[in-house]
Every structure is written in structure tokens, then in C-alpha cells.
Homo-oligomer: A and B are copies of this chain.
Amino acid sequence: MTSAPDAVGFDAFAQAFRRHAAGVSVVTALGVDGRPVGFTATSLASLAAEPPLATFNMALTSSSWPAIDSTRRVAINMLGQDDYLVARIMAGPNDRRFDGEHWEAGPGGLPLIIGATAWMVGDVVAATPVANNIMIAVQIDQGGLGEPDEPLLYHERSFRALGAEL
């Protein structure tokens, strides 16, 4: 490694994130018209324990944003290794993400992913737009456990299992 930069701007960002791996979740919401929306997220993170706060990022152009913006209420589904096909569905064409038997209505009608390892629901308590995208904080109020599977990971456009303890 050298401390001299070898890339600038987008290239520096892209080459660094190609060496990053992320846990995979599905964020869902229920539109005011009663239609479920959602997307596969690789940005889920913990922000605080007291109160319990989680964060994720999304594009303001996302098909899910109008529902989240108007209801301020989301479900966050943690995906396990066995859920990689669901991760693909929920990252595919918007209008087909809820075609199938991979979800059910949870508290308040929020879509929950069947087979997820856990889920939690909460209110959007902060949302900061930055350049056509938005970082969102959710205060968790309830949740449940699902399949006792190991977490699903995403790296370099592939879904991966979790490996050995170091």
C-alpha cells in the first residue's frame, strides 16, 4: 500500500467499495393506496441502542420513496443465506417485486419477507436528502425473529455466505 492517491472522485469511491462487503436486508412500506413497496438494501446500519435506531440509504427516485415519505413507517427484514433469491426479486423490476409467495402482511399491513431471519418495524425519525439520495433513520418499536439462518452478504455484484471466524 502507498499513501499516494491513485484515483480521484468516482473512481476512488468505486474501487474502494468494490473491496467492501455488506449485509443484505429488504426495506418495505405500504403506500397510502394500499400497495406494498420495497427494495433490497445493502446500507442497513445501527445508529443507536437507546433509543433503538437503524439507518439506511435510498435514492429519492426510488419507487419506494413516495410511500416512505408519506407514511413515515417501514419494515426492515434481515435476510439470511437462504434468502438470496428474494434479494434478487426485491432488487428487480418494481412492478413485480411482490408477485409471489415470498411475503405476507405484518403489523399495520407492512410487508414482511417470509424466510427472513428477523424483522423490525418503526417510524422514520430523520431523513436527510443529499444530492438526489436520502439517508434515513428509523426508530424501532417492534419486531420478530424468523429463520435461524446465517446472514446474507453482498460483495462485487454477488451474494455470498458468511465465512470462518478469524
List residues of A whose CB falls within 8 A of some B CB: 1-10, 12-23, 25, 42-57, 59, 76, 78, 80-81, 84, 104-107, 112, 114-121, 125-126, 128, 130-133, 135, 137, 140-147, 149-153, 155, 158-166
A-B contact pairs, 5 of them (CB 8 A): A4-B144, A15-B145, A20-B151, A21-B150, A47-B135
Q: How far is the CA of A40 from the CA of B107 in the complex (A)?
A: 35
How far is it, in angstroms, between the C-alpha of A53 and the C-alpha of B10 when the chains are bound? Answer: 9
Copies in the complex: 2
B84 touches A53 (CB 8 A): no
| Nearest CB of chain B from residue A96's CB, rounded to whole Å | 21
Known: A7-B144, A17-B54, A20-B151; 14 extra A-B contacts, CB below 8 A, are A3-B144, A13-B140, A15-B143, A16-B119, A16-B143, A19-B118, A19-B149, A21-B162, A43-B46, A81-B166, A126-B135, A130-B137, A135-B135, A160-B166
